Amino acid sequence: MSKRTGMEVAIAAAEAVALCNIDVAAVYPITPQSHIAEHLSDIVHNGRIDAEFITVESEHSAMSACAGASATGARVYTATSSQGLILMHEILPIVSAMRLPVVMGNANRALSGPLNIWNDHSDIMSVRDCGWIQLFAENGQEVIDLTIQSFKMAEHPDVMLPAVVNLDGFQLTHMIEPMEFPTQEEVNRFLPERAPFATLHPDKPVSMGCFNMPDIFTETMMAKNEALVNSKQTILKIWDEWEKQFGRRYKPVETYFSEDAETLILTMGSMSETASVAVDEMRKKGKRVGLLRLRLWRPFPLEELRSALKGCKTLIVMDRALSFGGAGGPVGTEIKSLLFHDKSRPRIVNFLMGLGGRDMKVEDFIAMVERAGKKKDETYEFYGVRQ
């Protein structure tokens, strides 16, 4: 086991990207992502990796430059957050439709307005349907691991789709904590060179980004969906390989005291760790509470979720974003619809919480479990809102 290194997680993300020997990065600064951009440019400017760092003039251009560079066969990275992510929104479904394996770090932050630079998941949820592989990191170690893994996932010939690693803004990006870094040799062994199926080069001219008439568009959409759905098999395989090489196990749905749990909390991202402490406290008091953490959001791991829910009576979905005027939080809504036909499905309680940096303490998770126990229906509810 390698030594634990203390480092800010945003800087660790940039170091992980450097270990992947990228060819091109195009990053526009935005709080709380900027330390990734700064440190990556520092790595390039000091010649630690041989890459082009494009200092684009917007996130829209960041993603566009990534598309162009990725199309030449280069290994490409960008990072963003919040407003930046939705400024590049237009290009996100194009990149996945063009099957360009761009890897992106997203420092999760609330969407304006009103302006709020703090952490929630409303940014990524607003681009949920763009056809990207979407992963959520719980801590700095996962940021490193998922970043390296996602290059392999994205570039895999059976996948060829872009991937986004979500890391909670501030809560993770600005956190100094211990992490283990793989060595360059280890990463080289894990991550093969990219072998693109088509590249922009005059030796073999191809046309990319051709438009679809109505007579073929549906087939193209089906093909894209199949590619994303099927990518799960490759993702699982890559996680097996990772475990073999590095000893750390990754699953689409992580479970904590879920086996005999009557009540399960479902979280995403860094809050899961705090929630696990709350589970410990409740277990001490003899309550059968457990925790599920959704690491893989797209493609959605339905089978894994189902098997984790066996025996569960109440599922509490903690959403850090909401669909205004809709059925609640995006995660809660989706899980309700996916389990609609399951006869033995648990009661699903959906809390909207942790919005725009509202801190969630151990007591808050305990309070939500208590509230869920008393709740009679399955309507969604804001947690901790002042009345």
Partner 1 sequence: MMQTVRNFELYTPKLIEKREFFSSGHRACQGCGEVLALRLVLKALGRDTVVANATGCMEIISTPYPTTAWEVPYIHVAFENAAVVASGVEAGLKALRRKGKIADRDVKAVGIAGDGGTADIGMQALSGAMERGHDMLFVCLDNEAYMNTGIQRSSSTPFMAATTTSPAGTVIPGQRTGKKNMPEIMVAHRVPYVATACPSYPLDLINKVKKARKLKGPSYIHVFSTCPTGWRAPSREAVKLGRLAVETGVFPLYEVENGKYRLTVETPEKRRSVADYFKSQGRFRHLTPDQIKIFQERVDGEYRQLMNKIKHSRSWQE
Partner 2 sequence: MKQKKWPEAWHEVTPGCVVFAPGSASTYKTGSWRAQRPVWDNKKCIKCGICYIFCPECCISESADGFFAANLDYCKGCGICEHECWPQAIAMVEEEV
Partner 3 sequence: MIEIRWHGRGGQGAVTSVELLALAAIEEGKYAQGFPAFGPERRGAPVMAYNRVDAQPIRVRSGIYQPDVVVVLDPSLMTLVNVTDGIKPGGLLIVNTAKPQKSIRDTLKYTGRLATVDATHIAREELGLPIANTTMLGAILKATGVLKFASLDVPIEERFGRIAAKNKKALKRAYDSVKISK
Which residues of this chain interact with partner 1, rule CB under 8 A? 23-24, 26, 50-52, 54-58, 60-61, 64-74, 76, 90-91, 94-95, 98, 193, 199-203, 205-213, 216, 220
C-beta of residue 187 within 8 angstroms of C-beta of residue 246: no
- Binding status of residue 348 toward partner 2 by CB under 8 A: no
C-beta of residue 378 within 8 angstroms of C-beta of residue 345: no
- Give phi and psi for 239, each to the nearest 5: -70, -35
> How far is Cα 74 from Cα 100, in angstroms, rounded to an integer?
10
Q: Residue 73 or 384: which CB sits closer to partner 2?
A: 73
Binding residues for partner 3 restricted to 260-299, rule: CB under 8 A = 270-271, 273-274, 276-277
Least CB distance to partner 2 at residue 272 (A): 35
Q: Which of 49, 198, 236, 362 binds partner 2 (CB under 8 A)?
A: 198
> How far is Cα 359 from Cα 5, in angstroms, rounded to an integer?
27
- Give phi and psi for 297, each to the nearest 5: -100, -35
Least CB distance to partner 3 at residue 194 (A): 34
50 binds, among partner 2, partner 3, partner 1, none (CB under 5 to 8 A by kind): partner 1
Preceding amide of 299 cis, omega within 30: yes
362 binds, among partner 2, partner 1, partner 3, none (CB under 5 to 8 A by kind): partner 3
Binding residues for partner 2 restricted to 206-235, rule: CB under 8 A = 206-210, 212, 215-216, 218-220, 222-223, 226-227
52 binds, among partner 2, partner 3, partner 1, none (CB under 5 to 8 A by kind): partner 1
- Binding status of residue 115 toward partner 2 by CB under 8 A: no
Binding residues for partner 2 restricted to 70-109, rule: CB under 8 A = 97-100
Number of neighbouring beta carbons within 10 Å of residue 76: 32
Closest CA to 33 of 153, 164, 133, 161: 164
350 binds, among partner 1, partner 2, partner 3, none (CB under 5 to 8 A by kind): none
Token pair, residue 361, equals: 């303490």
Least CB distance to partner 3 at residue 274 (A): 5
> How far is Cα 350 from Cα 180, in angstroms, rounded to an integer?
35
DSSP collapsed to 3 states, 106-155: EEECCCCCCCCCCCCCHHHHHCHHHCCEEEECCCHHHHHHHHHHHHHHHH
Interacting residues with partner 2 (CB under 8 A): 97-100, 160, 197-198, 204-210, 212, 215-216, 218-220, 222-223, 226-227
